Amino acid sequence: MRLLKFILFLSLPVIFCNCRSRRDLTECDHPSGWCKEIRNLSGKSWKYAQLSKNVYNKPFQFNLEKHFEKIEDFENKDIDFFATLYKDKLIGKYIFVFRGTDSFKDFKTGNNPFRQKQNKYGLLIYDKSKAKYNFSECIVTGHSLGGGIATHISLNRENATAYTFNRSPVFRNKMNIKNDRYTIVENGEILKLPRLFGREPNQLYTSIGCSKGGPIAQHDMKKLADCLTRIAANEDNDAKESLLLNKIITE
């Protein structure tokens, strides 16, 4: 919490400025109140949002046993790095989930734009896992710092589709690889300012008004995952089942 308050102090001048999705929205008269593009994106991303919450290893865990098989954890205590590799039980695709900032230590090792130790380590374990499990394509995902690592990999490795949530802007675009990248952010969350000053990659950027509260509250991954699951449940039976299984409050 102290770390987030420090970031908030740096972000106050522009944190409340408007931020819009970088595309036209259609079919916004849907009974759910959400436009077609938001519903479609929620349908694609809600499970990755839940995984991005689970990788923090906090007491609450979304139940995703039906959808994913846990393959391997990756931890480097020297830089406070953590990630998990999953395999989609239905389509067989691998998913790398990177943890976001969880301490001052990984704030320094992950959010330093000059050294980027966690980004380098993320690429290292990605390359080793690709060789070990022989996958040709992969999903990379994460929240906050974890989203920055996922973006870094998608910019520097072929066939790595990224789904990121309230993403950090700390990454390097050395190879400019044209992967699909989906960036979902809360309208007023705390990392808006750093993203405004950073160089953004090619991506489908969607700013969404999912939750209430200030910049710190809106940065929360659980709230965003809940909201994306609720939106997806309008047209996705698995998401609807997840609402009941995980006791997600419907609004």
Q: Which pair of tokens denotes residue 200?
A: 């953004």
Per-residue pLDDT at 198:
53
What is the tens place of the pLDDT at every residue in 106-125?
555 556 565 678 899 999 99
- Can you give the pLDDT at residue 205? 82
Rg (CA), the chain: 17
pLDDT greater at residue 172 or residue 222: 222
**Whole-number pLDDT of residue 215:** 80
For the segment 235-244, the average pLDDT, to the nearest whole number, is: 97
Average pLDDT, the chain: 84
Q: Which pLDDT band, with edges at 50, 70 and 90, does 250 fall under?
A: confident
Q: What's the pLDDT band for 5 if we cut at 50, 70, 90?
A: very low
Structure-block tokens of residue 162: 């990224």
Sequence-distant contacts of 83-87: CB under 8 A, at least 24 apart: 83/55, 83/122, 83/125, 83/142, 83/146, 83/149, 84/51, 84/54, 84/55, 85/129, 85/133, 86/51
Could you report the per-residue pLDDT of 17-74, keeping only the tens digit for each? 333 334 567 778 888 889 899 999 999 999 999 999 999 999 999 999 999 999 999 9
pLDDT at 15 over 60: no
pLDDT tens-place string over residues 192-213: 766 555 556 677 888 888 888 8
Predicted pLDDT at 204: 82
- The Cα 98–Cα 86 span in angstroms is 11
Domains of the chain, each with CATH number or no CATH: 36-246 (3.40.50)
